[in-house]
Amino acid sequence: MNFADLFGHIGQHTVDGLSKGAIYALIALGYTLVYGVLRLINFAHSEVFMVGTFAVLGLWTAFGVQNNPPIGQAIIFLVLGLIVAAIASGGTALAIERIAYRPLRRKNAPPLIFLITAIGLSLVLVEIFGLVLPKLLGEAVPSIFGRARIILGMPTIIEQKTLFTVLNTSITNIQLIVFVSAVVMMAMLDWFINRTRYGRGVRAVAQNPETAALMGVNQERVIMLIFVLGGIMAGAAALLWSMRFGFTQSSIGFVLGLKAFTAAVLGGIGNLRGALLGGLFLGIVEVYGATIFASNWEDVIAFVVLVIVLMFRPTGILGESLGRARA
- Residue 321, pLDDT > 70, answer no
Helix axes 252-267, 298-312, angle to 10 degrees: 30
Confidence category of residue 284, pLDDT binned at 50, 70, 90: very high
196 secondary structure, DSSP code = S
Q: What is the pLDDT of residue 136?
A: 61
Contact 57, 242 (CB under 8 A): yes
The Cα–Cα gap between 204 and 176 comes to 36
The Cα–Cα gap between 258 and 170 comes to 29
- Please give the residue that has the higher pLDDT: either 136 or 168: 168
The Cα–Cα gap between 190 and 261 comes to 19
Across 96-100, 149-153, 214-218, least confident range: 149-153
Q: Where are the domains of the chain?
A: 3-312
Contact 279, 13 (CB under 8 A): no
User: Which are the contacts of 323, defined by CB distance < 8 A and separation ≥ 6?
Assistant: 36, 203, 204, 205, 206, 207, 208, 270
The Cα–Cα gap between 139 and 150 comes to 9
pLDDT tens across 255-269, in order? 899 899 989 988 888
Q: Which residues pair with 165 in a beta bridge?
A: 170
φ, ψ for residue 142 (rounded to 5)? -70, 160
Q: What is the pLDDT of residue 39?
A: 87
The model's pTM is 0.90
- Residue 143, pLDDT > 50, answer no
The Cα–Cα gap between 139 and 151 comes to 11
Contact 13, 291 (CB under 8 A): yes
Query: Above pLDDT 90, what percent of the chain?
Result: 46
The Cα–Cα gap between 78 and 64 comes to 14
| CA distance from start to end of the chain | 43
Among 1.10.10, 3.30.43, 1.10.760, 1.10.3470, name the CATH number for the domain at 3-312. Answer: 1.10.3470
